Chain A
């Protein structure tokens, strides 16, 4: 299945800024079940400097700076992606994946091998997922039992987050502490993903933050409106001897073809779609429009 993604971010500054340095994580990465066929980024005004690199986690980082006065910054990222995730998804339900119990996993994580060492850094505290409270540990332990399959238990954890937490846009922002989200049980997809990550890390399992998109389908009989899609986030757990498995707690589902991966990191901080430093006293208004369609 081929999917087109258009992600337009617009900043309108109250007064002109003379200069800006920016970093974007908007180019989707290629992975098993996902291939990037085409990608373009268009920046207005035209940047004086532009470069791309691959970061520590293997994500594409775009850096640009605009060295003259501007009142509006508009970044349009468009890509065509071939997404065929069904095989990968099927493998999650395989015996190889499902048979790994929680106690097996903890035991296997002690092995010194490049894969395990690499995965284990995702158990450590990160900038937004840290100082996890006892409540996250006990919340996780309701699903995790020593002889229970990690896959099954994580699946249940996902469902519980989906059921227990309310999707309330505007209640949180990027710097809302996770403990508050846990207490109030409210937030958006980033928060839910990070709650799950905190829970998994608190019981010693590697978990990472997935940044991307999800295609929403219009109600039956209606035409899909442009720009109603959004940036999305979910999480993945590392199952030793199998690998990473994705879960989407916002939609209570294991991603298939509607999910498109941009990149991943320890939490949102590692993969913000766009950030920057501007010179000037800039109050700004942000507008994001994402549009995803099957083609």
Chain B
């Protein structure tokens, strides 16, 4: 069967395009043949299944990409096509040379523009192309680096032009993303296509990653051995945060944010649980302008003040060095042949797109005249927003773009619009030709030259015929396979994680922001579980009592409703009227549903789950794949519930049931997936702290007040229920339920893991393992927790339950619990101050709200 008649490729040849898989006479190219045969052997159903399996794998592994300015944009699933893109090694060798040549040129350009500036002086590069580029940082002028190359990582984007050759279409230098995604693509794709992967002798990526690790290790200042390396991320809202966390856990380097770092005595330090730790190498994913609010962008909270000075002193290596963005510069393209000639005495190996820099009059005139068939870019800010495709612009937009060019011509470059090749993409059961661009990477080799990754991240347009390819526009990804006729020879591999152990082992070296996030993950998780359980009891009771949304008449129900206000800290709530005179007690169902579902309401269950999700994402480099699966389940349960229009109480209770079991599974996984010295201790402290506080809140709101005997009895049962302790109570006491026994079990029973006595003791034990504990004199936080334990044990149960004549309040019990509660807050506060003090923000001496754009 010829491809044209193949039903899988129905409509594929409808639109004329230059294709990767097929020749112009619609025959399969030899390098694609094994894949084509495999596709046919599988057929549409099996192909669909494999795509679904792949989607599932990616979702399960938590591969995500954040879309900016989109409320649902956080953690979008990663879209990987099950059909790889193929380049035969024979062709790849030439491409590799071309990329290496580019990297060499950009390295020399960087050295020149921050050094002698001969290229500008000789008129090889017009001064505006450098001096007017926002990425040219005068603060980085004349720095002497201790390593040979200025360009350490380079990402090249290539597409196949109409001449059949691979063209260089874009450069990424500042903080190129994609290495982690490429690896993740490969891992998953080779899992669903094991046979064909082997058959086509696809080159492996692991060796490149070892070399990447070698690079980071070898560039440390003064060739320091076993340098301390960190990965600097802008945080969990960054579009490629998944990758930052992925690489941190892959290489075993701490993932830090600007606030984790500080400059002192001319060095860069990481704030860890045990104080400051000197850092030698920063692999940064924060853009140039944001890394130092002292010398660069004043409004940045992503960097650390004084960093540039540490660079000048050669006490830190930043990968890529600050200021490298200046060569991410389409203004250079027209001058590249001359630059290559001047620097290397070579011709460019890879063709590039014809480009006109508008800083020259003749070129500008040409661009203005032919704007409809050109693509207009700024020399800096090469991001999608500032790229105009002439053919899509309206008359009005063209006038606007022309005016912009006329105002600042040297800031603009126009490029010919090329129709690049298409590649088969599996979509809805058949293949479609889609435009593609492939990003691959070159890293400086410690032995000289550059090493190019034998693979890359391929992105194809989201729709056929769409020429704009970008993940921000919902693109689809593909894995690039470099295939061989014979099995490629593997270089020796070794385990790099071992090398890094010296740095990342030990609780003391945990970055304090990570520690804080673990602490809060524990607190929020504990809170979610306790509130979900209590909420379930309350909803069930209310449903059993009444179906209308009116004020309940039973004292039991009212007390129960009030307890949820106490637990969630959502006063006035059921406790009293609000300022406008409204009383939630009049519409109990409305208030309860709001407490479950209103994510904007502090204290609500939805809000607490949101907080838990945030701390989850902030430290996702620590979590295991299983945990992602359960977490994803939790999110799903919750999304389904919140997408229902006015769910019934019953539906909510059902969701709570499922939520509770998943939460418990998740907690179990945490305990077996993370090591104590990775920070599990902090998680436990947070968890026990929250459990203790909520036990106190429940007891105080349900049993401190004395009601009639019936109500008291009922409330005790509900308390045991909410605490999941009713069965145990019956088993232990084999008697009627009375307050003395209930308090004995929930507060005092040192052998019962859900009792306050137990959680406090556990807290004390964990707190004693913190790096600054047990150093002779007791720390504040140690003293507070010990006092809390003392308070709890100071009085007998009999004394605690006493009620003074003419009173309805068990005052001894209430004041004891209040004291313990206060001491726990103090413990939490002092731990926060001692270990994760980020309250000191970096601020400008004089606030200067300049924008650099």
A219 to chain B, nearest CB (A): 32
- The 8 A CB mask of A158-175 against B (1 = contact, 0 = none) is 000000000000000011
Q: Indicate if the CB atoms of B309 and A120 lie closer than 8 Å.
A: no
Q: Is A145 an interface residue (CB 8 A)?
A: no
Q: Is B489 an interface residue (CB 8 A)?
A: no
Provide the bound-state CA to CA distance between A281 and B844, in Å: 10
Q: Which of B192-225 contact A (CB under 8 A)?
A: none
Q: Is A38 an interface residue (CB 8 A)?
A: no
Provide the residues of chain A in CB contact with B408, threshold 8 Å: 125
Q: Indicate if the CB atoms of B845 and A20 lie closer than 8 Å.
A: yes
Q: Is A21 an interface residue (CB 8 A)?
A: yes
Q: Is A223 an interface residue (CB 8 A)?
A: no
Which stretch (B126-134, B476-484, B662-670) binds chain A? B126-134
Interface of A is mostly: mixed
Provide the bound-state CA to CA distance between A20 and B305, in Å: 9
Q: Indicate if the CB atoms of A286 and B846 lie closer than 8 Å.
A: yes
- Interface range on chain A (Cβ under 8 Å from partner): 35 or more
Which stretch (B258-266, B346-354, B432-440, B586-594) binds chain A? B258-266
On whether A125 and B132 interact (CB within 8 A), knowing A55-B138, A114-B121, A279-B840, the answer reads yes
- The 8 A CB mask of B378-392 against A (1 = contact, 0 = none) is 000000000000000
Q: Is A67 an interface residue (CB 8 A)?
A: yes
Provide the bound-state CA to CA distance between A124 and B127, in Å: 10
A25 to chain B, nearest CB (A): 12
Q: How many residues of B contact A (CB 8 A)?
A: 35
Provide the residues of chain B in CB contact with A20, threshold 8 Å: 845
Q: Is A217 an interface residue (CB 8 A)?
A: no
Provide the bound-state CA to CA distance between A55 and B842, in Å: 24
Q: Indicate if the CB atoms of A175 and B127 lie closer than 8 Å.
A: no
Of the candidates A48, A57, A63, A280, the one whose C-beta lies within 8 Å of that of B265 is A48
On whether A280 and B843 interact (CB within 8 A), knowing A21-B306, A55-B138, A56-B138, the answer reads yes
Q: Is B357 an interface residue (CB 8 A)?
A: no
A204 to chain B, nearest CB (A): 12
Q: Indicate if the CB atoms of A112 and B846 lie closer than 8 Å.
A: no
Provide the residues of chain B in CB contact with A51, threshold 8 Å: 309
Of the candidates A121, A124, A277, the one whose C-beta lies within 8 Å of that of B842 is A277
- The 8 A CB mask of B298-326 against A (1 = contact, 0 = none) is 00000001100100100000000000000
Q: Is B850 an interface residue (CB 8 A)?
A: yes
Of the candidates B132, B841, B850, the one whose C-beta lies within 8 Å of that of A279 is B841
Q: Is B235 an interface residue (CB 8 A)?
A: no
Q: Is B123 an interface residue (CB 8 A)?
A: yes
Provide the bound-state CA to CA distance between A120 and B117, in Å: 14
Provide the residues of chain B in CB contact with A23, threshold 8 Å: 294-295
Q: Is A53 an interface residue (CB 8 A)?
A: yes
Provide the residues of chain A in CB contact with B132, threshold 8 Å: 124-125
Q: Which residue of B lies closest to A48 (CB)?
A: B265
Q: Is A127 an interface residue (CB 8 A)?
A: yes
Q: Indicate if the CB atoms of A278 and B850 lie closer than 8 Å.
A: no
Q: Which residue of B lies closest to A267 (CB)?
A: B850
On whether A124 and B128 interact (CB within 8 A), knowing A19-B840, A21-B306, A49-B266, the answer reads yes
B368 to chain A, nearest CB (A): 19
- The 8 A CB mask of B262-284 against A (1 = contact, 0 = none) is 11111000000000000000000
Q: Which of A1-59 contact B (CB under 8 A)?
A: 11, 18-23, 48-49, 51, 53, 55-57
Provide the bound-state CA to CA distance between A238 and B732, in Å: 94
On whether A120 and B127 interact (CB within 8 A), knowing A23-B295, A277-B293, the answer reads yes
On whether A276 and B845 interact (CB within 8 A), knowing A55-B141, A114-B121, the answer reads yes
Q: Is A93 an interface residue (CB 8 A)?
A: no
Provide the residues of chain A in CB contact with B264, threshold 8 Å: 48, 65, 67
Q: Is A226 an interface residue (CB 8 A)?
A: no
On whether A278 and B127 interact (CB within 8 A), knowing A114-B121, A125-B408, the answer reads no
Q: Indicate if the CB atoms of B141 and A275 lie closer than 8 Å.
A: no
Provide the bound-state CA to CA distance between A20 and B293, in Å: 12
Q: Is A108 an interface residue (CB 8 A)?
A: no
Q: Indicate if the CB atoms of B845 and A63 lie closer than 8 Å.
A: no
Of the candidates A114, A127, A277, the one whose C-beta lies within 8 Å of that of B850 is A127
**8 A-B interface contacts by CB (under 8 A):** A21-B294, A53-B312, A56-B138, A67-B264, A67-B265, A125-B132, A127-B852, A286-B846
B interface residues, Cβ below 8 angstroms from A: 120-121, 123, 127-128, 131-132, 138-139, 141, 262-266, 293-295, 305-306, 309, 312, 408, 410, 840-846, 848-850, 852
Closest 8 CB pairs of A and B: A277-B305, A56-B138, A276-B845, A112-B123, A121-B131, A279-B840, A21-B306, A56-B141
Given contacts A51-B309, A55-B138, 5 further A-B contacts (CB under 8 A): A21-B309, A48-B265, A117-B121, A278-B845, A279-B840
